[in-house]
Amino acid sequence: MTGSGSTVVPPLEPVDIPSRLRRLRAPMLVAGGILLASVLLHVRDPHQSGSWGLCPWLLLTGTYCPGCGGLRAVNDLTRGDVAAAASSNLLLVASLPLLAGWWGRSVLLRWHGPVRPVDSRLAVAACVLLGVLATGFWVLRNTGAGAGLAP
């Protein structure tokens, strides 16, 4: 330190900013996995009983889980039949625009810079909301009032 009151500042350490390719790796792997699963579901039709196995929940309880009809819904979407997809699993079809927006936002944020941590309160709130919606859908599709939601 000098008598003038100034302090010596050490040089800044270089910050390792990952390349854009590394930042986009996770969302691109997710997109690739979804594309692969969609192609497989397009090629091997899940509308044929047992073609992709049977739902263990349905076998054990005789009731539909929130995912029942999801494979048929994806197959219908790959064929461009949104109405048939919605009749197989409305929760899946209704959530796709939200999931696509979430994925797109992730790509955009990763494109422009380093990945920032997610606000944990927002993540917990989103998970709780998703759980409540899925549980409500699950219960409703197994009642007389929600029989139209059954696959």
- pLDDT tens sequence across 50-95: 889 888 999 999 999 999 999 999 999 999 999 999 999 999 999 9
Report the 10 Å Cβ neighbour count for 73: 27
Domain boundaries, the chain: 36-149
d(CA 67, CA 135): 11
**Mean pLDDT computed over every residue of the chain:** 89
Report in angstroms the alpha-carbon separations of 28 from 13, 32, 71, 115: 31, 6, 22, 15
d(CA 39, CA 75): 9
3-state secondary structure of 45: coil
Tokens read off for 63: 């009731």
- Rounded to an integer, the average pLDDT of 26-45 is 96
Put simply, whether the predicted model's pTM sits higher than 0.75 gets the answer: yes
Specify the pLDDT at position 87: 95
Nearest to 137 by CA among 124, 145, 74, 122: 145
- Rounded to an integer, the average pLDDT of 90-102 is 95
Question: Confidence class of residue 25 from pLDDT cuts 50, 70 and 90?
Answer: very high
d(CA 48, CA 54): 11
Say which residue, 114 or 59, is predicted with more confidence. Answer: 59
Say yes or no to pLDDT of 22 above 60: yes
Say which residue, 9 or 105, is predicted with more confidence. Answer: 105
Assign 3-state DSSP to the chain and report helix, strand, coil percentages, each to 5.
60, 0, 35
Say which residue, 43 or 13, is predicted with more confidence. Answer: 43
Give the DSSP H/E element, type plus range, for residue 126.
Answer: helix 120-141
